[in-house]
Amino acid sequence: MTDRALSVVRAGALTTVQDLGRPGHAHLGVPRSGALDGPAAALVNRLVGNRPEAAVLETTLNGCAVRPRSTVTVAVAGAPCPVRVDGRPAAWGAPVRVPAGALLDVGAAVSGVRGYVAVSGGIAVEPVLGSRSTDLLSGLGPAPLTDGSVLPLGSPDGLHAPVDVGPQPAPPAELVLRVTPGPRHDWFTPEAVRTLTSRTYRVSPMSNRIGLRTEGPALERALSGELPSEGMVLGAVQVPPDGRPVVFLADHPTTGGYPVIAVVRTADLPAAAQAVPGTPVRFMAVHRR
């Protein structure tokens, strides 16, 4: 092992390697995967001078701690959290130099859910179908981090970081998801479609990288029976038999048999990645562009 590596001292609740994912293989049953909060992952890469496709760490709620074997530049963004280097407070949302052997501690999120940690050179685990992303649905890509594991780092590109700070939206106090109806809204009663777009739901603690689950009024079906399996898109609002809508996130299955009542605009999904359990969710009907 070269010294271009990171030792994982504290893996945290769920820390995975993520990049832009592996779109283009859905017909083989391969989820797209990739960072849930894409803009935050892109920002941390820019802050350390990485290319947009470099792999970063995605943390969940309580951060992680890593020790680089060589001096690196890191940046932490996404869910706001304290950052420390060998116990000393360091900047969040800005480039930070971490000397060889020092401990980078990414603390628990003050708000939001998912933190992003870029390291100059990027996390250089072996790609699978062109991506280093961990896919929790199908198990492709590297396993989630564990205490004591070691991650290889790539060589820095020598790019000068084009920015040293970037604006970021605060995690949502209320999650507003714009939706266009269909393709299977006709499998539900007209009342159910009105309920979806007029009542308030809450983010369920059962949410994960596969889907944002919600709690709230159940949506009643107009058609019973089983829908033959059909292709699913990112942002699909699928309604399982319990009637509570689930918004498909990056690790969603490529096909499914529960009807999709509406689809969330892709631009609203990064905020969904940062909505803590209990956050109110409103589905707002919008016209198709």
Partner 1 sequence: MRALPVGDGALLVEVASGEEAQALHAELVRRRAEGSLTVREIVPAARTVLLDGLDDPARLASELAASEVPPAPPRARDAIELPVRYDGPDLAEVAAHWGVPEQEVARIHAATEFTVAFCGFAPGFGYLTGLPPRYDVPRRATPRTAVPAGSVALAGPYTGVYPRSSPGGWQLIGTTDAVLWDHARVPAALLSPGTRVRFVPVESPGGPVSAA
**Binding track, positions 199-238, relative to partner 1; x by CB under 8 A:** -----------------------------xxxxxx-xx--
Output 138 or 155, the one with its CB closest to partner 1.
Answer: 138
Q: Which is nearer to partner 1, 25 or 202 (CB)?
A: 25
Determine the Cα–Cα distance for residues 144 and 159; give it in Å rounded to an integer: 29
Task: Please count the residues of this chain forming the interface with partner 1, following the rule CB under 8 A.
Answer: 34
Q: For residues 67 and 185, which CB has a smaller minimum distance to partner 1 in the complex?
A: 185
Instruction: Give whichever of 129 and 161 is closer to partner 1, judged by the CB atom.
Output: 129
Using CB under 8 A as the binding rule, whether residue 1 contacts partner 1 is answered as no
Q: Tell me which residues in 117-176 interact with partner 1 (CB under 8 A).
A: 128-129, 138-140
Q: Which residues 6+ apart lie within 8 Å of 38 measured at CB? A: 20, 270
Compute the least distance from the CB of residue 152 to partner 1, in Å.
18
171 vs 245, beta carbon nearer partner 1: 245
28 forms part of the interface with partner 1 (CB under 8 A): yes
The answer to whether residue 7 forms part of the interface with partner 1 (CB under 8 A) is: no
Kindly state the smallest distance separating residue 177's Cβ from partner 1, in Å: 12
Site string for partner 1, 240-259 (x = CB under 8 A): -------------xxx----
CB 128 to partner 1: min, Å: 5
Which two three-digit tokens encode residue 266?
């892709």
Q: Which of the stretches 41-49, 76-84, 95-103, 177-185 binds partner 1 when contact is defined by CB under 8 A? A: 177-185
Q: Which of 44, 55, 264, 276 binds partner 1 (CB under 8 A)?
A: 264
Quote the CA–CA distance of 211 and 259 in Å, as a whole number: 15
Rounded to a whole number, what is the distance in angstroms from the first to the last CA of the chain? 51
Q: Does 33 bind partner 1 (CB under 8 A)?
A: no
Cβ at position 32, least distance to partner 1 in Å: 8
Which token pair is 13? 């609740």
> Which parts of this chain interact with partner 1 (CB under 8 A)?
23-30, 128-129, 138-140, 180, 182-183, 228-233, 235-236, 253-255, 260, 263-266, 288-289
